[in-house]
């Protein structure tokens, strides 16, 4: 199947899954920060890896990225990207009283753990919705410019022309005027994409 030419019905089905996954992610985040968290998934971007990532941010923008593989009935990889200021804000919410030394030592492991929870919220939702098993790997983290993140992903996985789904997610907190953005990028193998659409009765 040509995943570059999805029908509006297929895109709507993916967005519905994204919204459910976003709600689960917001619930998980709420438990971590001990605040009510609201979520909005305004857009699902679909296209070549390079095009979608650069739609998220310019090549020189510094981001925090968390990469995971997933195995099981569906296979592929996922990339969770935060603008650097948003990942810093998330750390501030989670460790408001920590010293600079403690923050430096704990930030990476903390972001990995939170991102693992958020990514698994999306993947578990997809698995439950489709009645398939999805097993995520241990997350790996990179803080760098978007162009370097793209180069790293391409170097490890292949072509920047691979098609990817990007779920833009906005989190808002009950006692704070700021919002936090995160971009969940899903790159399933072609065989897994066929399984997804077959399960959704879209093939």
| Residue 90 C-alpha from the chain's centroid | 15
Asked whether residue 3 is assigned to any structural domain, the reply reads no
How far is 144 from 141, CA to CA, in rounded Å?
Answer: 10
Asked whether residue 16 is assigned to any structural domain, the reply reads yes
The pLDDT score that the predictor gives to residue 8 is 79
CATH code, 108: 3.40.1550.10
The b-or-e profile of 105-132 (16+ CB within 10 A means b, else e) is eebeebbbebbbebbbbbbbbbbebbee
Asked whether residue 154 is assigned to any structural domain, the reply reads yes
Provide the domain limits for residue 129. 8-199
Instruction: State pTM to two decimals.
Output: 0.82
Asked whether residue 2 is assigned to any structural domain, the reply reads no
pLDDT tens-digit profile of 127-178? 888 899 999 888 888 888 988 887 877 666 666 566 677 888 888 887 777 7
* 172 φ/ψ angles, rounded to the nearest 5 degrees: -120, 145
Q: Does residue 85 have a pLDDT over 60?
A: yes
Domain count, the chain: 1
Asked whether residue 1 is assigned to any structural domain, the reply reads no
């Amino acid at each position: 199947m040509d995943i570059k030419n999805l029908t509006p019905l297929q895109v709507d089905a993916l967005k519905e899954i994204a919204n459910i996954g976003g709600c689960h992610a917001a619930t998980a985040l709420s438990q971590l920060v001990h605040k009510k968290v609201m979520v909005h998934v305004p857009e699902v971007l679909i296209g070549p890896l390079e095009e979608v990532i650069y739609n998220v941010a310019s090549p020189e923008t510094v981001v925090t990225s968390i990469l995971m593989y997933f195995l099981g009935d569906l296979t592929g990889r996922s990339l969770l990207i935060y603008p650097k200021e948003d990942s810093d804000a998330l750390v501030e919410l989670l460790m408001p009283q920590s010293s600079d030394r403690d923050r430096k030592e704990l930030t990476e492991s903390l972001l990995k753990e939170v991102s693992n929870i958020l990514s698994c919220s999306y993947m578990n939702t997809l698995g439950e919705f489709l009645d398939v098993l999805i097993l995520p790997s241990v997350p790996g983290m990179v803080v760098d410019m978007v162009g370097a993140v793209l180069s790293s992903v391409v170097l490890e996985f292949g072509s920047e022309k691979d098609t990817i789904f990007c779920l833009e997610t906005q989190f808002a907190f009950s006692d704070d005027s700021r919002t936090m953005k995160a971009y969940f990028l899903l790159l399933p193998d072609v065989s897994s994409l066929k399984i997804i659409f077959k399960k959704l009765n879209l093939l």
